Amino acid sequence: MLLEGKKALVFGVVNERSIAYGIAKALKAHGAHLALSYAAEPIKKRIEPIAEELGADFILQCNVSDDAEIASAAERVRREWGLVDVLVHSIAYANREDLRGRFIDTSREGFGLALDVSAFSLVALCRAFEGLFSPGASVMAMSYYGSGKVVANYNAMGVAKAALEACVRYLAVDLGARGVRVNCISPGPVKTLAASAISGFSSILETIEQRAPLKRNITPDDVGGCALYLASNLSSAVTGATIFVDSGYNIMGV
Ligand SMILES: NC(=O)c1ccc[n+]([C@@H]2O[C@H](COP(=O)([O-])OP(=O)(O)OC[C@H]3O[C@@H](n4cnc5c(N)ncnc54)[C@H](O)[C@@H]3O)[C@@H](O)[C@H]2O)c1
């Protein structure tokens, strides 16, 4: 048991296909107490049975674009647990029209929305929870290969992921003084609700099977293994990093 008694707050489970679900399962299997956060009231009904299945201590609503909801989430966690050992940010959003066609056509509003929900929210959460992080706490966020390379149709989300990875490095410095670590996992493509918004997503999955060193796509459980490592003391000197969980696809050239 790597996380016996640790308290892990997971943002981003919407169903059993969510990457955050694979992460929550892995953390729970190693003894962590869980709390799940969902974006809005209509999602609550979907989350309740999942929270029950995973034996979560509680669930809470938090739209990460709303500072008041973030503040009340932090207050709830303070009341329920006092401190937090693990915070998982597995959240992204962009308008559908900004996940197809030419990047040059991204609207100012769509660009701002993608960056706010998918990148700035990590900064806002870290600030709100700063006083609740236990010494040695671990924060992690989900990036994607499209942060550093051009992936067809990923567009505004690629820029948001580049920002997210940079946020992780700056946050790693700010929070490092208190021994808190901040890292990114960069999973390969997984067929989830969020991924279904990306035009041509199935062809990306086929490319991975053909070209990745491991010749297979990854699963949320693969990401869960890496998250467990980052959440635990095994990664005690790892911060500001982006770790690929992508069957090795990122190393391939022509
Ligand atoms: N699926 C993939 O191929 C893939 C690959 C690499 C990285 N990722 C990243 O993994 C993370 C999780 O995505 P997923 O693929 O598991 O999809 P998902 O749809 O299961 O999860 C996305 C989550 O973001 C939440 N969310 C969106 N807007 C929000 C808001 N304003 N406030 C709070 N929560 C909000 C949704 O409710 C949902 O729970 C995202 O950061 C995504 O970019 C996904």
CATH class entry, domain 7-251? alpha beta
pTM: 0.98
**What pLDDT digit, counting tens, does each position of 42-67 carry?**
999 999 999 999 999 999 999 999 99
Q: Whose CA is nearest to atom 3 of ligand 1?
A: 189
CA distance 230 to 145: 19
pLDDT for the residue numbered 99: 94
* 194 CA distance to ligand 1 middle (Å): 5
Residue spans of the domains in the chain: they are: 7-251
**What pLDDT digit, counting tens, does each position of 6-49 carry?**
999 999 999 999 999 999 999 999 999 999 999 999 999 999 99
Asked if 144 is an active-site residue, the reply is: yes
Strands of 84-89's sheet in order across:
58-61, 33-38, 7-11, 84-89, 133-142, 181-187, 242-245
CA distance 101 to 115: 19
Q: Whose CA is nearest to atom 36 of ligand 1?
A: 12
Asked if 38 is an active-site residue, the reply is: no
CA distance 107 to 247: 34
